[in-house]
Structure 1
Amino acid sequence: MLNTIEIMKRIPHRYPFLLVDRILEVNLEEKTVVGLKNVTINEAFFGGHFPGHPIVPGVMIVEGLAQALGVLVFEQYGEEGKNMVPYFAAFESVKFKAPVRPGDQMIYEAKILKQRRNIIKAEGVVKVDGKIVTQAKFTFSIVEK
């Protein structure tokens, strides 16, 4: 299990854009990661999304899933990973099944499907209370800083 400080040693994201509070599991053999984000009303985006009806923007949900995956990629590369940054290259599909609200806890579950050189295809789900709220398949490239 990795806490926020340990996560920040592995990926470049920082407040207010760090969207992973903990990594619960990394399985290098199966190329999977499980992360966690506690959603609070203090999130910067709630001021405008939407006043009186706060929900987490879908793009932030997918970004959090990708950040958890970034920790997995770092663990694969080891110390070399400190000089690398993942960039989104494509979204093959994203489905939002339910809104995420303040007080929810998002569980990110992601898996690398295919990796060729610096291109990674992955998929994942985000769950709240055991129910899938978001599904995504995406591609990103790993570039040196």
Structure 2
Amino acid sequence: MKTSEIIALLPYQRPFLFVDDIVSVTENNIVGHYTFKDDEFFYEGHFKNNPITPGVILTECMAQIGLVCLGIYLTKNELMKAEKLQIALTSHQMDFYLPVLPGEKVHVHSEKEVFRFNKLKCNVKMLNEDGELVARGLISGMLKV
């Protein structure tokens, strides 16, 4: 499965799509990136005259790349038959270290911890362009094909 096919199967669209590209994907990990545009809808009010990307949006970006894209790859054989994937985020624990400003590109790295009974749990981290750790944590979700 090509990375462009994975992105096309995502159940999101702009302005709530936070995946630009997938750099690599295997059965055990995925790496992708996203650039936060200057005109993203959430910058207008977060914060006045000093916009930064909300933590919930950073978590969403890590979930879209690190959980959903990897889940699509792991269920590709079933997906080709069903052509529909339902995702439910079941839990997450995140630690944040650096802000992400408008115009910044981030890289998400995710490693599968377990995929059993359609539940996927991944260790994720987000790095900025300088390779500095922005955030890291654990994300779990249920996949239904």
TM-score by length of 2: 0.88
Q: State the match for 2:132 in structure 1.
A: 131
Q: State the match for 2:86 in structure 1.
A: 85
Are 1:97 and 1:133, in contact at CA under 8 Å, matched by a contact in 2?
yes
Give yes or no for the alignment of 1:11 onto 2:10: yes
Q: State the match for 2:52 in structure 1.
A: 55
> What letter corresponds to residue 38 of structure 2 in structure 1?
I
Q: Give structure 1 stretches of 5+ with no counterpart.
A: none
Give the alignment of 1:93-112 within 5 angstroms: 93-112=93-112
Question: What CA distance in whole angstroms lies between the structure 2 residues aligned with 1:59 and 1:110?
Answer: 17
- Deviation (angstroms), 1:7: 4.4
SS at match of 1:40: coil
Question: What CA distance in whole angstroms lies between the structure 2 residues aligned with 1:8 and 1:26?
Answer: 12
- Deviation (angstroms), 1:38: 0.8
Question: What CA distance in whole angstroms lies between the structure 2 residues aligned with 1:137 and 1:131?
Answer: 18
> What letter corresponds to residue 31 of structure 2 in structure 1?
V
Question: What CA distance in whole angstroms lies between the structure 2 residues aligned with 1:130 and 1:32?
Answer: 18
**Structure with the higher strand share, 1 or 2:** 1
Are 1:84 and 1:142, in contact at CA under 8 Å, matched by a contact in 2?
yes
SS at match of 1:48: coil
Identity of aligned pairs, percent? 27
Q: Give structure 2 stretches of 5+ with no counterpart.
A: none
> What letter corresponds to residue 43 of structure 1 in structure 2?
E
Q: How many residues align?
A: 139
RMSD, aligned α-carbons: 1.6
Q: State the match for 1:46 in structure 2.
A: 43
TM-score by length of 1: 0.88
> What letter corresponds to residue 11 of structure 1 in structure 2?
L
| 1:96-125 deviation per Cα after TM superposition (whole angstroms, max 9, x unaligned) | 001000121100001110111111111110
Question: What CA distance in whole angstroms lies between the structure 2 residues aligned with 1:2 and 1:64?
Answer: 16
Question: What CA distance in whole angstroms lies between the structure 2 residues aligned with 1:38 and 1:8?
Answer: 15
> What letter corresponds to residue 76 of structure 1 in structure 2?
L
Q: State the match for 2:21 in structure 1.
A: 22
Question: What CA distance in whole angstroms lies between the structure 2 residues aligned with 1:108 and 1:119?
Answer: 20
- Deviation (angstroms), 1:64: 0.8
Work out which of the residue numbers 54, 59, 66 in structure 1 matches 2:63: 66
